[in-house]
Structure 1
Amino acid sequence: MASAVPMEAPICLVENSNGELMVNQQALQILTSITKPVVVVAIVGLYRTGKSYLMNRLAGKNKGFSLGSTVQSHTKGIWMWCVPHPSKFDHTLVLLDTEGLGDVEKGDSKNDSWIFALAILLSSTFVYNSMSTIGHQALEQMQYVTEVTELIKAKASPNAIGEDSPEFVGFFPDLVWTVRDFTLELKLDGHPITPDEYLENALKLSEGEHPKIQMDNLPRECIRKFFPKRKCFTFDRPTNNNSILAHLEDVQESQLEPAFKDQAENFCSYIFSNAKPKTLSGGIMVNGNRLGKLLETYVKTISSGDIPCLENAVLALAQTENSAAVQKATNHYIEQMTLRVDFPTETLQDLLKQHTDCEKEAISVFMKHSFKDDTFKFQGELVENLESKKDDFICQNEEKSTKYCQSKLEYLSQRLMEAISQGTYSVPGGYQLYRKEREKIMNDYHQVPRKGVKADEVLQRFLHSQAKTEKVILQTDQTITEQEKVLEVEQLKREAVEKEKKLLEQQQMEMQQKMEVQQRSYEENIKQLKEKMEEDRIQILEEHKSILDHKLKEQKRLMKEGFHEKAEEMKKQMKDLQTKINDAENKQPSWWSSALDNFGTGLMVLLPGAGAFLGLGMKILSKLVP
């Protein structure tokens, strides 16, 4: 498991003390240390109905979550057990056991509502545990689902549609309804039915205008509306021996009823195979770290007396995660450049090639770990970071080259300097001796390998430092005529100009290379951004289509049950959803152009070489992606 703290037993994640909810920091630390995607299974239901036993079975243990053996509720708040997923090895299974609903000792039912809402907010599979049947009483106990719309907002905007918005329905987990101590025969109108058919039959709406009938229909409507994917399991009594039943955690498998064992095994198998990883709208994968941060936001908001807003919670998470993604991508760039670049590089182009490769990887790292960077603020920060780090590596490369070349020249010119200080060349014929030694130094210097980008510049500075000495030696050499001295001085000037010109050309070429690499950076940022936007578009399209498909099925069911007015009311919701689908199906939605144009303009400021090199604004986009 990716958690830094192996969990041998559950720990209280959300403490419930005197009606006040508080996140346990030790448990939060465990949760946030999980970097793998999490499959979150939460169970709720009346107290003393055997919820904890099922969760222990999912953990592969007999003991763990407290079962209790009295009429008192043992589980308080929300308890967590993180275990390796038995079949998805790159995921972690997070089990959440909640305190029993309807505990008479609590007195405040509002507390139950918040526990219920948190279980829905955190889980990807929501298990509702009831006793005996899915009858009137069991559905009445599911009143909490009707309160969720009052406890949670989907959008921050006061004008946003609440429970009918795709964002609201989309965050609901899959529902698994477990019926314990089930003694009825699974038959309907004399025909055998499956547990799933039993559940769907129990969710049929009753006809009539009486307020009591409408009140009875409300939880059924909410379950059908908010839980598109539903599954039901019925369980026989584990054993008919009441003394054994009171201590199930100590019971041997052989002491349990065979039917119950099979049912429990089928339940666990279904959860392991079908429970999805926790995701947010847009297909944003949730790991333990993200789940922990969302939980903190939710509980803090609840404790302050406000209503948790899904949009605000996700945006707050995005701010933290995107900032971390910038740092992660920057660190990846630095690590890879440090590994791959052997300073000093022979040419600037060698360094820039490594930069381009490492930058591409860094942008990819950012894209993988970031989400909802709608204003491109964080991608802009990454561009700035990488540009700054690239400049640092260029400076480091130049410094190492300069120091290396200077040390080599000092070593090669040591004999020349000693001879000058001793007056060796201040004699007739001394100028030719000096020139011969200087040429040897230059030839030996040219033979030195891996001098780097500052080789010519350092040599030029060395020759420039020798210019006055060379001129003095020339003028004092009596074997050279005045005319020859004049010609020699002119030749020296021409050589100096030629070397200066060559150095300038090299600098201009390096400037061109830097501009070209900025252009490549510009193109890579736009390319990967468009790919991510396309992935997001497809994900949102799939989500909207799934919700629309659910609404169409629900509308047909309402028509079949005779609720034509309710079916008609769904038309506007479906029409609005179809409009969103049509917009998402457009390969380049209208907002893409302006968004990319704004980001492209920002990139031109951060990467001026890109604009200067091509003189093209966002026209490049058409060349990048068809």
Structure 2
Amino acid sequence: MEAPICLVENSNRELMVNQQALQILTSITKPPVVVVAIVGPYHTGKSYLVNKLAGKKSGFSLGSTVQSHTKGIWMWCVPHPTKPNHTLVLLDTEGLGDVEKGDNKNDTWIFTLAVLLSSTLVYNSMGTINQQAMDQLHYVTELSERIKSKSAPNIDEAENSSDFVTFFPDFVWTVRDFTLELEMNGKPITSDEYLEIALKPKKGKPEEVRMFNLPRQCICQFFPKKKCFIFDRPTERKKLSQLEKLHDSELEPEFVEQVESFCSYIFQHSNVKTLQGGITVNGPRLENLILTYVEAITSGEMPCMENAVLALAQMENSAIVQRALTHYEEIMIKRVQFHTETLQELLDIHAICESEAIEVFIKNSFKDVDQKFQKELVKILEAKRDAFCQQNQNESTKQCRALLQDIFSPLEEAVKNGDFSKPGDYGLFLQKTKELKQKYYQQPRKGIQAEEILQEYLKSKEGVADAILQADHSLSAKEWDIEVERVKTQAAEAAARQLEEMQKKTLEIIEQNERSHREHINQLTQKMETERKQLIEEQKNNLALKLQQQEQLITFGFQNESEELKNQIKALENRLSESQKRRRGCVIC
């Protein structure tokens, strides 16, 4: 992208997704995306920082008047400067608190979308991190009322928000035009320590300190990792409106160094956007998330992170089923270039190709609830196997009939010419038939229908053989009776062999189905084990963060606040215990 483009339009207090922007995301199929969104009050210099992340002096519009410039959410996709084969997606949002808008409902939704879509959320403010700055960040306190982590009904607010830390982005607070000394009790402190102190709750009666502590508690509880950067004023006031045109040499050296430090941190530490279960997000997945969340917002519903993942899974798993089927057909056609000699040979090839197709599905699918899509894939693969078996049979039938016609046509011509009408010719006819049958058996690559088509041909010529027998008066009555009985016995034996062959084929199909089922169970078990490990790891990380938050509160002397975390911690411990039990139970099975 040479320049940013509007991703979500905020027009007449309605949010609309820009289709042209979605087409750009659709094209980013393979590279995973690192999504950095910047939010904050209008006219705090957000766009300047995002342009720097894009490696450009200009791009996102910098407002130089009292009127807010950026409307909605704008997107700029660029190659990641430090991570090969990754795409950096930069989201610049309209300024929060614009007096022209009249109400802040859309501000809340813009902030919410930035949280839901990003892997790193940058909150940009001016001056210092004081109570006014916290009041401006009231949007974070409304997230539990705007977002659902799970689709389960009757989930309370505490349980809902306890999962946010698992899904939410890293949080970076950038403070512009910072004029204070980074010092506490006469000792220098880092910007991160400054943020930690600013987020420290106030002691007092709950009803008196609630509004002071709430945004601080939400930031601490919702966001897994927090970072702070402070920036000096970039240049003298009269030049600020021309900031994007100024060379670094015209800016304050400390400011240039601070911006470089900020960009370096974002490039090195911002993670790939992932969903629950460690699902890596690329362009099309980000596109679907945007559509799902905006649709929920415009319809008056609460965006649900779990539902968004499930909706994405439904769409992608359906496409992955088709991809697996295409893979199966391609390698089957390649490996079965001609019909096979036996059914078992074809079934062995099918088993290999089927296993590869299932592997393609399992490797790329996610959130396949009740294995709906895998069962669908297995069902279609069985139908395709049967189709290949039928095609294999048809090809063999076609070749065998052509071969029999080629081998037996001289004999048929001789019969038409009356060459077997003399006494004693019946024996000659039988001898000739035997020789031609032997010639037929010696021909290679006849396939699975070789015997059946031969018997079908011989049965069709029984009338000819019987006529020659009837005409051969050299046979005695006893010899004639013996020959008739031999023909009957031969026909019965052929029918028995044919029945045995059909039973053998049926048994081979049954055995292949059983092997296939065992293979599916094995592959599915491995997939479920991997997903359980991922879930347990997420739950452990969530629990560790909650315990860390509780420890900090106790260290600061906030016993009452730490008690509020106990229920969340207890619920997380129970869920972790259940997950570990299910994992052990699965392994035992």
| TM-score, structure 1 normalization | 0.88
Q: How does 1:510-549 map to 2 (within 5 A)?
A: 510-549=505-544
Residue 231 in structure 1 maps to residue 234 in structure 2: no
User: Residue 170 of structure 1 aligns with which residue?
Assistant: 166
1:204 aligns with 2:194: no
Task: Spell out, residue by residue over 1:143-190, the C-alpha distance to the aligned partner (whole angstroms, 9 max, x if none).
Answer: 110111111122333421334444333221111112223333322222
Aligned residues: 587
- Relative to structure 1, the CA distance from residue 396 to residue 154 in structure 2 (aligned partners, 3 Å threshold; closer, same or farther) is same
Alignment counterpart, residue 293 of structure 1, candidates 285, 288, 292: 288
Cα distance, 1:435–1:283 mapped onto 2, change above 3 Å? same
Aligned pairs (5 A) from 1:434-583: 434-583=429-578
Gap regions ≥5 residues in structure 1: 1-6, 593-621
Residue 110 of structure 2 corresponds to: 115
> Which of 173, 188, 191 pairs up with 2:187?
191
Q: Partners in 2 of 1:432 and 1:352 — Cα distance? A: 43
C-alpha distance in structure 1 between counterparts of 2:179 and 2:439, whole Å: 98
Q: Using the alignment, how far apart are the partners of 2:69 and 2:571 within structure 1?
A: 46
1:87-121 residue CA offsets vs partner (Å, 9 max, x unmatched): 43343322211111111222221110000001111
Contact 1:318 1:372 in 2 (8 A): yes
Q: Where in structure 2 are the equivalents of 1:274-289 lying within 5 Å?
A: 274-289=269-284
How far did 1:438 drift? 2.3
Report SS of the residue matched to 1:175. strand
CA contact (8 A) 2:276 2:309 kept: no
Q: Does 1:214 align with 2:175?
A: no
Contact 1:155 1:162 in 2 (8 A): no
Structure 2: runs of 5 or more not aligned = none
Matching residue of 1:81: 76
Q: Equivalents in 2 of 1:295, 1:363: separation in Å?
A: 30
User: Which secondary structure does the structure 1 equivalent of 2:69 belong to?
Assistant: coil
Give the RMSD, CA atoms, in angstroms.
2.2
Find the residue that maps to 1:185 and give its secondary structure: coil
* Amino acid corresponding to residue 211 of structure 2 in structure 1: M
Shift of 1:254: 4.0
Contact 1:346/1:451 (<8 A) preserved:
yes
Contact kept in structure 1, 2:111 and 2:139, CA below 8 Å: yes
State the shift of 1:211 in Å. Answer: 5.3
d(CA) in 2 for partners of 1:477 and 1:485?
Answer: 9
- Structure 2 residue 34 is matched with structure 1 residue 34: no
Residue 385 of structure 2 is aligned to residue 383 of structure 1 = no
Q: CA deviation at 1:589?
A: 6.2
Structure 1 SS opposite 2:309 = helix
Q: 2:414 aligns with which of 403, 419, 444?
A: 419
The question of whether the paired residues in 1 share the 8 Å contact of 2:532 and 2:583 is answered with no
Which stretch shows the higher mean deviation, 253-262 or 329-338? Answer: 253-262
> Alpha-carbon deviation of 1:16?
0.6
Distance 1:491 1:87 in 2: 86
1:549/1:479 CA distance change after superposition, 3 Å: same
- Distance (Å, rounded) in 1 between the aligned partners of 2:12 and 2:550: 43
Deviation string for 1:365-405 (max 9, x for gaps)? 22233322232222221221111111111111111111121
Q: CA 1:414–1:202 in structure 2 vs 1: closer, same or farther (change >3 Å)?
A: same
Whether the 8 Å CA contact 1:84–1:91 is kept in 2: the answer is: yes
For 2:369, give the aligned amino acid: D
Structure 2 residue identity aligned to 1:148: L
Structure 1 ranges of 4+ moved more than 6 A: none
The answer (yes or no) to whether the contact 2:158–2:568 under 8 Å persists in 1 is: no
1:289-311: CA deviation from partner (whole Å, max 9, x where unpaired) = 22222221211121122222223
Question: TM-score under structure 2 normalisation?
Answer: 0.94
Displacement of 1:253: 4.1
Deviates more, 1:330-339 or 1:427-436: 427-436
Give the direction of change, closer, same or farther, for the CA distance of 1:92–1:516 in structure 2 (3 Å limit): farther
1:306 aligned onto 2:331: no
Identity %: 57
**Any conservation in 2 of the 1:583–1:589 contact (CA below 8 Å)?**
no
Report if aligned partners of 1:154, 1:162 keep a CA contact under 8 Å in 2: no
Cα distance change on mapping 1:46 and 1:493 into 2, 3 Å: same
> Which amino acid is the alignment partner of residue 581 of structure 1?
L
User: Contact (CA 8 Å) 1:12, 1:79: kept in 2 or not?
Assistant: yes
How far apart in 2 are the matches of 1:185 and 1:46? 23
How many Å separate the matches in 1 of 2:420 and 2:245? 102
- What is the one-letter code of the residue matched to 2:300? G
Shift of 1:48: 2.0
- The code of the aligned residue for 1:136 comes to Q
Measured after TM superposition, the shift of residue 544 of structure 1 is 1.3
Is the Cα–Cα contact under 8 Å of residues 62 and 249 in structure 1 kept in the other structure? yes
Letter in 2 for 1:233: F
Deviation at 1:222, TM superposition (A): 0.8
> Aligned pair in 2 of structure 1 residues 84, 517: CA closer, same or farther (>3 Å)?
farther
Distance 1:430 1:257 in 2: 116
Tell me which residue corresponds to 1:14: 8
2:369 match: secondary structure: coil
- CA spacing shift, 1:333–1:411, aligned 2, 3 Å: same
Shift of 1:195: 1.6
Partner of 1:404: 399
